[in-house]
Chain A
Amino acid sequence: NAGVMQNPRHLVRRRGQEARLRCSPMKGHSHVYWYRQLPEEGLKFMVYLQKENIIDESGMPKERFSAEFPKEGPSILRIQQVVRGDSAAYFCASSRETGWSSYNEQFFGPGTRLTVL
């Protein structure tokens, strides 16, 4: 059973360009979470999505950042007009459903490391 897939693993952008990060959840998982890890810091929650719905985007910067999880295809985190401060590792996690039990664990992908030049 394949785990959470993220691509690309590494992404380099120049200031002002757009970055698109993709996350394919585990099979059977309909809940996706995005976290950002700045250098030498812990992960910070950004957004929680279910299929076609944004449930909680309280951790997303108000401008330039957006996320979607369409009915078909991967979840996308989009960063427009990137700045150097956006350089970080972006992790996606998926779970089967909300609440917590042995089936509701969040499984993390390997992350996308974004570097803004």
Chain B
Amino acid sequence: GNSVTQMEGPVTLSEEAFLTINCTYTATGYPSLFWYVQYPGEGLQLLLKATKADDKGSNKGFEATYRKETTSFHLEKGSVQVSDSAVYFCALILGLSGGYNKLIFGAGTRLAVHP
């Protein structure tokens, strides 16, 4: 079946540290891949996306590259801030070009950044 696996949290880092959150997927066909962020008490916000192999999504200093050969979409940031503390969800969608958008989420990874 189609699924997303994320590294377990929590991930605890000091400010300005390098961040990697691993994400791998299993999917039939050619999924589009996403990272969503959920701040405390809020809904999910789209952080970045990639729709085909070797695409790199980036936003707010975060990056992730769609690696078809390793079925991965790892999230990275070179220097985290306290304000990046949140839960990060990796997700996929099957069926572009007319297929509807049923997002399949990973379990989420909680990130805590300390000053």
Question: A interface vs B, CB < 8 Å?
Answer: 4, 6, 31, 33, 35, 40-45, 48, 55-56, 91, 93, 95, 98-100, 104-106, 108-111
Asked if residues A104 and B101 are in contact (CB atoms below 8 Å), the reply is yes
Asked if residues B96 and A100 are in contact (CB atoms below 8 Å), the reply is yes
Q: How far is the CA of A6 from the CA of B41 in the complex (A)?
A: 13
**Is B82 an interface residue when CB atoms closer than 8 A count as contact?**
no
- For the complex, would chain B's binding face be called helix, strand, loop or mixed by DSSP majority? loop
Question: Closest A-chain residue to B93, C-beta based?
Answer: A100
**Is B102 an interface residue when CB atoms closer than 8 A count as contact?**
yes
Q: How far is the CA of A43 from the CA of B102 in the complex (A)?
A: 11
Q: How far is the CA of A44 from the CA of B100 in the complex (A)?
A: 16
Residue of A45, A108, A110, A111 touching B102 (CB-CB under 8 A):
A45
Asked if residues A98 and B43 are in contact (CB atoms below 8 Å), the reply is no
Asked if residues A95 and B43 are in contact (CB atoms below 8 Å), the reply is no
Q: Which residues of A contact B46 (CB under 8 A)?
A: 105-106
Residue of A31, A42, A99, A111 touching B99 (CB-CB under 8 A):
A99
**Is B57 an interface residue when CB atoms closer than 8 A count as contact?**
no
Q: Which residues of B contact A4 (CB under 8 A)?
A: 43
Interface readout for B97-115 with A: 1 if CB under 8 Å, 0 if not? 1111111111110000000
Asked if residues B32 and A44 are in contact (CB atoms below 8 Å), the reply is no
Asked if residues A95 and B45 are in contact (CB atoms below 8 Å), the reply is no
Asked if residues A99 and B108 are in contact (CB atoms below 8 Å), the reply is no
Residue of B41, B51, B108 touching A110 (CB-CB under 8 A):
B41
Q: How far is the CA of A42 from the CA of B3 in the complex (A)?
A: 11
Q: How far is the CA of A47 from the CA of B101 in the complex (A)?
A: 11
Question: Closest B-chain residue to A106, C-beta based?
Answer: B101
Q: How far is the CA of A93 from the CA of B99 in the complex (A)?
A: 17
Asked if residues B96 and A106 are in contact (CB atoms below 8 Å), the reply is no
